[in-house]
Amino acid sequence: MKILSLIIVLSPLLASILSGFFGKSIGRSASHLVTITGVAISFLASFFILSNFIFLDLSTYNEVIYTWASIGDLDIEIGFLIDPLSSLMMVVVTFVSLMVHIYTIGYMKDDPGYQRFFSYISLFTFSMLMLVMSNNFLQLFFGWEAVGVVSYLLIGFWFKKESAIFANMKAFLVNRVGDFGFILGIAALVVYTGSLDYATIFNNLDNLNILYISFFDGMNVPVITVICISLFIGAMGKSAQVPLHVWLPDSMEGPTPISALIHAATMVTAGIFMVARLSPLFELSSTALSFIIIIGAVTAFFTGLLGVIQNDIKRVVAYSTLSQLGYMTVALGVSAYSASIFHLTTHAFFKALLFLAAGSVIIAMHHEQDIRKMGGLRRYLPITYLTFLLGTLSLVGFPGFSGFFSKDILIESVHSSDLWGSNLAYFCVLIGVFITSLYSFRLLLLVFHGAEKFDDNTKKHLKEPGFVVTMPLVILSIPSVFLGWFIIEPLLFSEFFKDSIFVLPENDVVSYIGSHFHGSLDFMLHSFTNFTSPALYLMILGATLSWYLYIYNPSASKKIMMKAKYFYSILENKYYFDWFNENILSKGAIIIGKKFYEKGDVLAIDKFIVNGSAFLVKAFSNIIKRIQTGYVYHYAFIMIIGLVFVLFLL
SS (H, E, C) 381-405: CHHHHHHHHHHHHHHHCCCCCHHHH
Residue 204: pLDDT above 90?
no
Phi first, then psi: what are they for 315, rounded to 5°?
Answer: -70, -30
Bridge partners (DSSP) listed for residue 77: 67
Burial category of 604 from C-beta neighbours within 10 Å (exposed 0-12, middle 13-18, buried 19 and up)? middle
**pLDDT band at 41; cut points 50, 70, 90:** very high
Q: Which residues of 69-79 are buried (b: 16+ CB within 10 A; e: fewer)?
A: eeeeeebebbb
Q: pLDDT category, 559, cuts 50, 70, 90?
A: confident
Tell me if residue 297 falls in helix, strand or coil. Answer: helix
Count of CB atoms within 10 A of residue 421's CB?
21
Is the pLDDT at 3 greater than 80, yes or no? Answer: yes
pLDDT at 552 over 80: yes
Residues 6+ apart with CB under 8 A from 144: 131, 179, 182, 234, 238, 270, 274
Q: Is the pLDDT score of 218 beyond 80?
A: no
For residue 605, pLDDT over 90 is answered with no
Is the pTM for the entire model greater than 0.75? yes
Question: In this predicted structure, what is the pLDDT of residue 564?
Answer: 85
Q: Once rounded to an integer, what is the mean pLDDT over residues 262-289?
A: 92
Q: Please, what is the end-to-end C-alpha distance for the chain in angstroms?
A: 91
- Taking 80 as the threshold, does the pLDDT of residue 176 lie above it? yes
What share of the chain has pLDDT > 90, as a percent?
62
Q: What is the pLDDT of residue 523?
A: 87
Write the CA distances from 437 to 252, 345, 483, 544, integer angstroms: 22, 20, 21, 9
* Strand pairing report for 74-82 and 212-216: unpaired
Average pLDDT score over the chain: 90
Contact 371, 443 (CB under 8 A): yes
Q: If you average pLDDT over residues 374-392, what whole number do you get?
A: 93
Question: Residue 639: its pLDDT value, please?
Answer: 84
| CB 13, CB 133: distance < 8 Å | no
pLDDT confidence of residue 608: 79
- What 385-390 contacts at long range (C-beta under 8 Å, 24+ apart), as own/partner pairs, is 385/448, 386/477, 387/353, 387/357, 387/470, 387/473, 387/474, 387/476, 387/477, 388/353, 388/354, 388/357, 388/358, 388/361, 388/444, 388/447, 388/448, 389/444, 389/448, 390/350, 390/353, 390/477, 390/480, 390/481
**Closest to 42 in 3D by CA, of 88, 1, 79, 90:** 90
Give 160 or 281, the one with higher predicted confidence.
Answer: 281
Q: 282 pLDDT exceeds 80?
A: yes
How far is Cα 53 from Cα 487, in angstroms, rounded to an integer?
13
pLDDT the model gives residue 386: 96
**Which segment of 144-158, 341-355, 391-405, 444-458 scores lowest on mean pLDDT?**
444-458
pLDDT of residue 67: 87
What pLDDT does 561 receive? 85
> Which residues, other chains included, contact 145 with Cβ-Cβ below 8 Å and sequence gap of 6+?
179
Residues 6+ apart with CB under 8 A from 570: 576
Separation in Å, CA 271 to CA 138, 274, 314, 332, 340: 16, 5, 22, 11, 11
Position 87 confidence tier, pLDDT thresholds 50, 70, 90: very high
pLDDT, mean of residues 21-36: 91
Question: What does the alpha-carbon distance between residue 405 and residue 409 come to, in Å, rounded to a whole number?
Answer: 6
Q: Within its chain, how far is the Cα of 636 from the centroid?
A: 84
H or E element that contains 66: strand 61-71
How far, in Å, CA of 465 to CA of 366, rounded? 11
State the Cα angle at 111 between 318 and 115, rounded to 5°. 95
- Band of residue 114 on the pLDDT scale cut at 50, 70, 90: very high
Contact 331, 339 (CB under 8 A): yes
Nearest CA among 512, 328, 482 for reference residue 411: 328
Answer whether residue 533 shows pLDDT above 80.
no
Over range 631-649, report the average pLDDT. Answer: 82
Query: Looking at residues 495-521, what average pLDDT do you find?
Result: 89
In terms of residues, how long is the chain?
Answer: 650
In the predicted model, is pLDDT for residue 634 greater than 80?
no
**In this structure, which amino acid lies at residue 157?**
F
pLDDT band per the 50, 70, 90 thresholds, residue 141: very high
Under DSSP, the state recorded for 371 is G
Render pLDDT for 562-602 as a digit per residue (tens, 0 to 9).
888 889 899 999 999 999 998 898 888 899 999 888 888 88
Instruction: Find out whether 247 and 325 touch, Cβ atoms under 8 Å.
Output: no
Supply the pLDDT for residue 81: 94
* All residues at 6 or more sequence positions from 545 whose CB lies less than 8 Å from its CB, including other chains: 438
**Identity of the highest mean pLDDT range in 272-286, 449-463, 514-528:** 272-286
Residue 68 parent element (H or E):
strand 61-71
56-60, 292-296, 617-621: lowest mean pLDDT where? 617-621
pLDDT band at 545 (very low <50, low <70, confident <90, very high): very high
Maximum average pLDDT range among 116-125, 622-631, 633-642: 116-125
> 510-531 pLDDT, tens per residue?
999 988 888 888 889 888 887 7
pLDDT at 130: 95
pLDDT value at position 43? Answer: 96
Higher pLDDT, 443 or 205: 443
Confidence of residue 603 (pLDDT cuts 50, 70, 90): confident
Is the pLDDT assigned to residue 101 strictly greater than 90?
yes
pLDDT top residue among 488 and 72: 488
Out of 25-34, 109-118, 600-609, pick the least confident. Answer: 600-609
The verdict on whether omega for the bond into residue 382 sits within 30 degrees of 0, i.e. cis, is no
Helix segments in 283-421, DSSP class H = 286-307, 313-333, 337-364, 382-396, 402-416
pLDDT at 38: 95
SS3 71: strand
Tell me what pLDDT residue 457 has. Answer: 83
- Quote the CA–CA distance of 325 and 273 in Å, as a whole number: 11
| 8 A C-beta contact, residue 189 and residue 223 | no
**pLDDT tier, 214 (very low <50, low <70, confident <90, very high otherwise):** confident
Q: pLDDT class for 298, splitting at 50, 70, 90?
A: very high
Nearest Cα to Cα of residue 89 among 271, 238, 281: 271
If you average pLDDT over residues 24-35, what whole number do you get? 92
The percent of residues in the chain predicted with pLDDT above 70, rounded, is: 100
**Residue 480 near residue 350, CB atoms below 8 Å:** yes
pLDDT (mean) for 39-57: 93
